[in-house]
């Protein structure tokens, strides 16, 4: 790989090449060879782009320093032209070598036949000592580095790398003693050999790019010419109330279409896009703001590091910003309090987050179930106070506290066979009522707030026909429907029907049964006239 001046794209391609080379050593399937074809095509585009950039860089050197009479500048300009000529000669020879590889393999283009050619024709051509091409290639690369070092005064590393020159293979017993040609081409199919040569060709052009940058500094061509000058306004605050003072800083921003800045946010690369309205290449900073340590006004001071790399210069600045504590808005069915052991349907929203709201919830003192909509959650309390924590896309927003109240007791209601409630003050005439239905009915507010939890049933009750202090008849009822037809002839004015619930259950929203405590106040007495 080229070295510390490689672009992220070159580093990525180089890493992919290394991985595929390692896989090739394992003699994996032809699918790897297809990846080498992709790498080779990508390298070809990189070679073309780098050659254009280097030619542009040379043109800039000639323009900036060509008119100077200063000896050091004239020398830098002359050496820059020599670097370009040397590189052009070197890359032309490498192109001819790749053409010869294609010819030896019996193909004139990269196609399925060539990709699946596992033959050793190219490997033999490059390694066989009777064939001078391999040695000429190695000498060409060594001579290129030697001349480049002489022209620039720099110390460029070898291009003809043997395993001993690469830490990843230096201690590998299978490769450590191999020379450059054997390591590069031994047992190497045609497409892999082409990709290997293309990779080296990109390194040649990257060395040239580094050399031209050094010479450009000496020739004065490292100065940037800006063709776009744009006025910019940076407001002190993006929000201003009516009647308040608007404040902003106005300044000049400049850009050049020839520049390709690299930008990072907290050390991470960000996309750089051309802004259509200004013509400026702008980095797109986008992240989820994290709060914490809020001041009494609900504000949290935060910072991030912005870095722009332009040629060999790095410009850094620490950017301050303020995070406002989000306001959590909670709504339930009809009331802010929750019912113990019930499925309380709650909507928790953070309006300031808008469409970015993607919450997750956790709770103390309750079980949670995710609701059908964003921000909707079912809270099933098991303690008298519940704390629900709200996170958005992994960022903590805040905590909401809820009071929990017990489930209100149901009312025991007796009705006639037509479904009309029986008047407990006046009762009914003797022999008039042949049957009744006794229900446990939920409190109206409770029913409205958690309707799926407001289903009560009487599973067992005792029904007594009483006269004075005596018990005339009694029965145990496991149904809410009571048949009184057998007692009609026994009823006398002044008698009473006493209904005493023994077991009442509540069906929860989970479709499970919960026992309801029965007390003397649940007993119903109906007078007989």
Residue 2 included in any domain = no
Provide the CATH number for the domain around residue 392: 2.60.40.60
Do 177 and 132 share a structural domain?
yes
Tokens of 173: 């017993």
* Nearest by Cα to 310 from 234, 227, 226: 226
Instruction: State whether 127 and 209 are in the same domain.
Output: yes
What values do phi and psi take at 523, rounded to 5?
-70, 135
- Tell me which DSSP letter residue 428 carries: B
Domain annotation covers residue 464: yes
Which domain-ending residue is among 301, 324, 347?
Answer: 324
**Which residues fall within 8 angstroms of residue 263, CB to CB, at 6 or more apart?**
269, 270, 272, 283, 306, 307, 308, 309
342, 450 contact by CB (below 8 A): yes
Distance of CA 206 to the CA centre of its chain: 34
Tell me, yes or no, whether 243 and 266 share the same domain. yes
Residue 8 pLDDT: 52
Q: How far apart are CA 363 and CA 380, in angstroms?
A: 10
Query: Does a structural domain hold residue 3?
Result: no
Distance, CA of 394 to chain centre: 10
Domain annotation covers residue 68: yes
Q: What is the pLDDT of residue 334?
A: 44
Identify whether residues 511 and 452 lie together within a single domain.
Answer: yes
475 & 441 share domain: yes
Residue 465 lies in a domain: yes
Map residue 33 onto helix, strand or coil. Answer: helix
Residues 100 and 133 sit within 8 Å (Cβ to Cβ): yes
Q: Are 398 and 380 in contact (CB under 8 A)?
A: no
The model carries a pTM of 0.45
| End position of a domain, from candidates 299, 324, 349 | 324
Residue 1 lies in a domain: no
Closest by CA to 213, choosing from 83, 72, 49, is 83
pLDDT for position 335: 44
- For 296, the domain range is 228-324
Claim to verify: residue 153 and residue 17 sit in the same structural domain: yes
109 and 32, same structural domain? yes
Q: Are residues 101 and 81 in the same domain?
A: yes
In a domain, 284, yes or no: yes
Query: How many C-beta atoms lie closer than 10 Å to residue 224's C-beta?
Result: 14
Shared domain for 100 and 58, answered yes or no, is yes
Q: At what angle do helices 8-25 and 190-219 cross, to 10 degrees?
A: 150
Do 126 and 26 share a structural domain? yes
**441: which residues sit within 8 A by CB, 6+ positions away?**
410, 411, 413, 456
In a domain, 45, yes or no: yes
Q: What count of Cα atoms within 13 Å lies in the side-chain half-sphere of residue 161?
A: 20
If one counts the domains in the chain, the total is 4
Q: Indicate if 84 and 17 belong to the same structural domain.
A: yes
pLDDT tens digits for the chain (529 residues)?
A: 334 455 555 555 455 555 545 544 444 456 666 777 788 888 888 889 999 999 998 888 888 777 777 888 888 889 999 999 999 999 999 999 999 988 888 887 887 777 777 777 888 898 988 888 989 999 999 999 999 999 999 999 899 888 787 777 767 777 767 888 888 888 788 888 888 888 899 999 999 999 998 888 877 654 555 667 778 777 776 556 555 677 888 878 777 666 778 899 898 898 988 887 777 888 888 877 777 777 776 777 888 898 998 766 788 888 887 777 776 777 754 446 899 999 999 988 888 777 778 889 999 999 999 988 888 999 999 999 999 999 887 788 888 889 999 999 999 999 988 889 999 998 888 878 888 999 999 999 999 889 999 999 999 999 999 999 899 999 999 999 999 988 988 999 999 999 999 999 999 999 999 999 998 889 999 999 8
Count the neighbouring beta carbons within 10 Å of the beta carbon of residue 295.
10
| Angle in degrees, 0-180, between the axes of helices 133-152 and 190-219, rounded to the nearest 10 | 20
Domain boundary among 385, 405, 425: 405
On whether both 72 and 156 belong to a single domain, the answer is yes
pLDDT value at residue 28: 45
Nearest to 83 by CA among 145, 139, 136: 145
Distance CA 64, CA 5 (A): 24
Q: Do residues 203 and 159 make contact, with C-beta atoms less than 8 angstroms apart?
A: yes
């Amino acid at each position: 790989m080229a070295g510390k001046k490689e672009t992220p794209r070159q580093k990525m391609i180089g890493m992919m090449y290394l991985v595929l080379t390692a896989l090739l050593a394992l003699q994996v399937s032809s699918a790897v060879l297809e990846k080498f074809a992709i790498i080779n095509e990508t390298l070809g585009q990189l070679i073309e782009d780098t050659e254009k950039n280097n030619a542009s860089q040379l043109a800039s050197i000639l323009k900036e320093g060509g008119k100077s009479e200063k000896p050091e500048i004239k020398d830098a300009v002359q050496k820059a032209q020599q670097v370009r000529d040397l590189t052009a000669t070197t890359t032309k020879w490498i192109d001819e070598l790749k053409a010869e590889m294609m010819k030896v393999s019996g193909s004139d283009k990269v196609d399925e036949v060539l990709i699946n050619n596992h033959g050793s024709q190219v490997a033999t051509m490059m390694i066989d000592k009777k064939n001078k091409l391999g040695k000429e290639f190695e000498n060409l690369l060594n001579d290129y580095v030697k001349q480049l070092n002489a022209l620039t005064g720099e110390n460029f590393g070898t291009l003809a790398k043997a395993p001993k020159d690469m830490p990843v293979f230096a201690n590998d017993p299978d490769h450590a003693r191999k020379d450059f040609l054997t390591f590069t081409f031994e047992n190497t199919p045609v497409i892999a050999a082409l990709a290997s040569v293309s990779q080296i060709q990109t390194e040649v052009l990257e060395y040239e790019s580094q050399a031209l940058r050094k010479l450009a500094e000496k020739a004065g061509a490292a100065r940037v010419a800006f063709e776009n000058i744009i006025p910019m306004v940076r407001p002190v605050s993006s929000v201003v109330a009516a009647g308040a003072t608007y404040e902003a800083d106005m300044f000049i921003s400049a850009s050049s279409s020839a520049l390709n800045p690299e930008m990072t946010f907290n050390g991470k690369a960000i996309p750089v896009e051309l802004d259509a309205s200004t013509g400026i290449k702008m980095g797109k900073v986008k992240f989820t703001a994290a709060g914490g340590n809020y001041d009494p006004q609900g504000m949290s001071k935060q910072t991030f590091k912005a870095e722009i790399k332009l040629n060999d210069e790095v410009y850094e600045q620490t950017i301050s910003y303020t995070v406002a504590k989000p306001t959590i808005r909670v709504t339930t069915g009809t009331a802010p309090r929750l019912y113990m052991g019930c499925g309380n349907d709650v909507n928790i929203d953070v309006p300031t987050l808008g469409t970015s709201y993607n919450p997750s919830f956790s709770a103390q003192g309750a079980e949670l179930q995710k609701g059908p909509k964003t921000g909707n959650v079912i809270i099933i309390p098991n303690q008298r106070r519940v704390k629900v924590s709200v996170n958005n896309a992994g960022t903590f927003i805040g905590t909401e506290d809820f009071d929990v109240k017990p489930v209100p007791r149901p009312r025991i209601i007796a009705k006639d066979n037509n479904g009309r409630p029986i008047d407990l003050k006046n009762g009914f005439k003797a022999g008039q009522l042949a049957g009744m239905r006794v229900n446990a009915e939920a409190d109206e507010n409770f029913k409205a707030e958690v309707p799926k939890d407001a289903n009560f049933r009487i599973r067992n009750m005792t029904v007594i026909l009483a006269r004075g202090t005596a018990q005339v008849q009694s029965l145990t009822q496991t149904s809410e429907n009571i048949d009184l037809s057998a007692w009609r002839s026994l009823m006398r004015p002044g008698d009473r029907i006493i209904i005493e619930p023994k077991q009442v259950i509540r069906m929860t929203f989970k479709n499970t049964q919960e026992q309801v405590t029965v007390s003397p106040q649940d007993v119903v007495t109906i007078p007989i006239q």
